[in-house]
């Protein structure tokens, strides 16, 4: 396990995927997809940041950036750092993708521009106004139900149960088969990682989940008025083809649930660990939205994404060749002391604008408004109805190549 600031640093020379020795780019033997890393990523993330603006991870033969400035720069230069060769370690130019590539996540401009515009409109601020009251009422009801229980698992009974009670209905999914949603997302996010056991096992077991998702993305299976039907309606407007619409619905099912589960889970875990911040929230429930946003910065539920260089580039003074994968450590960037004052502190009044927990630039999370809505109304309901949140048992971490979150978080609530 990596425990010190310099652990894993093995010298100033690294080898590129093609085998050439590189100058000036430190090689590290840190594996950010190992269980020990998931258990406590912070010392290793610090080592990655401090080793240099760009590092080489020898185990997976990949370059990586962990400082805020470089992560932000890579996210905002999609022509140099492309997504169409996959946003995981697997290079679609060399390896067949495990599923048909996403038309939005794994696409570059100009193709990306058209499909992205459709999802932007389906999940726009104006649409959020329409769904807001329903999402807020469901959060209130969920908190009442949990207060009646007193003690429960905040992962299964809250962080999973709440998004599952609102998002699939908002998409317009049938009630049957929804138990496939979280396992499917688990596969998607494990598959961005390297060919380790987590990825291989997830893909081997993915068939039933893939079959469910493919079926639910068809027009006939989506209720009128939902996000899914709104995407299909854009076929009639001529913005996308009938073959593209189900693939865009698939993006909602891939990235719309497990992410908010881990975002809400992160916020509950923060408020349980930092009671003084929960007290501030209770004192002013209008801070709920920022308290959620700060939890996304603090825990970074989506830890990493990759890009691929489209030409020889210079990152922080170091040359990287064309066709190289670059791993972006979003979580490390969100705690980079070069960018954030007191980054290890969960502060619900922090000015969080600019954090990269939802990414940045043209691929920035298209569902971020839904995530914020869910997080805000849930935390506001807790702030009004709950006096204290106590952790009742040791927490258990869930292991995923991309997502950071807990497997169980037993808490006890005291009513206000």
The contact set with other proteins (CB under 8 A) reads: 117, 120-121, 124-129, 289, 293, 351, 353-355, 358, 360-362, 364, 366, 368-369, 372, 376
Q: Which is nearer to other proteins, 201 or 349 (CB)?
A: 349
Residue 376: CB partners within 8 Å, gap ≥ 6? 288, 289, 292
| 155 secondary structure, DSSP code | I
Structure tokens at 216: 């639910």
Q: Which is nearer to other proteins, 55 or 296 (CB)?
A: 296
Measured from the CB of residue 353, what is the shortest distance to other proteins in angstroms? 4
Measured from the CB of residue 261, what is the shortest distance to other proteins in angstroms? 20
Q: How many other CB atoms sit within 10 Å of the CB of residue 322? A: 11
Q: Is residue 4 helix, strand or coil? A: coil
Q: Which is nearer to other proteins, 20 or 353 (CB)?
A: 353
Measured from the CB of residue 117, what is the shortest distance to other proteins in angstroms? 7
Q: Which is nearer to other proteins, 46 or 336 (CB)?
A: 336
Q: Which is nearer to other proteins, 78 or 193 (CB)?
A: 78
Residue 336: CB partners within 8 Å, gap ≥ 6? 49, 66, 67, 68, 69, 343
CB-based contact 325:265 (threshold 8 Å): no
CB-based contact 370:128 (threshold 8 Å): yes
Strands 304-309 and 21-23: unpaired
Measured from the CB of residue 292, what is the shortest distance to other proteins in angstroms? 11
CB-based contact 13:52 (threshold 8 Å): no
CB-based contact 50:9 (threshold 8 Å): no
Measured from the CB of residue 367, what is the shortest distance to other proteins in angstroms? 10
Closest CA to 336 of 355, 311, 358, 349: 355
CB-based contact 172:225 (threshold 8 Å): yes
Q: Which is nearer to other proteins, 315 or 380 (CB)?
A: 380
Measured from the CB of residue 369, what is the shortest distance to other proteins in angstroms? 6
Measured from the CB of residue 72, what is the shortest distance to other proteins in angstroms? 9
Over its C-alpha atoms, the chain yields an Rg (Å, rounded) of: 21
Q: Which is nearer to other proteins, 32 or 359 (CB)?
A: 359
């Amino acid at each position: 396990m990596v425990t010190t600031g310099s652990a894993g640093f093995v010298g100033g020379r690294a080898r590129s995927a093609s085998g050439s020795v590189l100058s000036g780019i430190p090689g590290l033997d840190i594996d950010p997809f190992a269980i020990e890393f998931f258990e406590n990523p912070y010392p290793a993330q610090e080592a990655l940041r401090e080793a240099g603006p760009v590092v080489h991870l020898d185990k997976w033969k990949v370059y990586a950036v962990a400082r805020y400035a470089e992560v932000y720069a890579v996210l905002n230069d999609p022509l140099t750092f492309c997504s169409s060769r996959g946003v995981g370690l697997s290079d679609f130019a060399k390896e067949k993708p495990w599923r048909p590539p996403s038309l939005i996540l794994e696409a570059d401009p100009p193709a990306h521009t058209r499909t992205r515009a459709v999802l932007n409109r389906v999940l726009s601020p104006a649409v959020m106004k329409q769904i807001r009251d329903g999402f807020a009422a469901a959060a209130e009801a969920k908190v009442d139900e949990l207060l009646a229980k007193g003690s429960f698992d905040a992962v299964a009974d809250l962080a999973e149960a709440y998004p599952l009670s609102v998002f699939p209905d908002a998409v317009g999914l049938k009630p049957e088969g929804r138990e496939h949603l979280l396992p499917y997302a688990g596969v998607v996010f494990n598959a961005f990682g390297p060919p380790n056991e987590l990825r291989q096992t997830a893909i081997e077991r993915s068939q039933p989940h893939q079959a469910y998702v493919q079926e639910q993305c068809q027009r006939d299976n989506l209720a009128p008025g939902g996000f899914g039907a709104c995407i299909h309606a854009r076929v009639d407007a001529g913005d996308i083809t009938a073959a593209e619409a189900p693939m865009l619905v698939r993006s909602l099912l891939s990235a719309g649930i497990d992410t908010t589960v881990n975002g809400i889970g992160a916020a509950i875990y923060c408020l349980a660990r930092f009671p003084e911040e929960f007290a501030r929230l209770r004192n002013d429930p209008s801070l709920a939205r920022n308290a959620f946003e700060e939890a996304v910065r603090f825990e970074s539920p989506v830890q990493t994404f990759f890009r691929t260089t489209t030409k020889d580039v210079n990152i922080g003074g170091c040359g990287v060749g064309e066709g190289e994968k670059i791993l972006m450590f979003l979580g490390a960037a969100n705690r980079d002391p070069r960018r954030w004052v007191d980054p290890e502190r969960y502060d619900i009044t922090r000015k969080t604008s600019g954090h990269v927990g939802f990414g940045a630039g043209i691929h920035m999370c298209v569902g971020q408004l839904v995530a914020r809505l869910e997080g805000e109304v849930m935390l506001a309901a807790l702030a009004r109805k709950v006096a204290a949140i106590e952790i009742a048992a040791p927490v258990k971490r869930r292991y995923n190549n991309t997502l950071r979150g807990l497997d169980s978080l037993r808490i006890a609530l005291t009513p206000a």
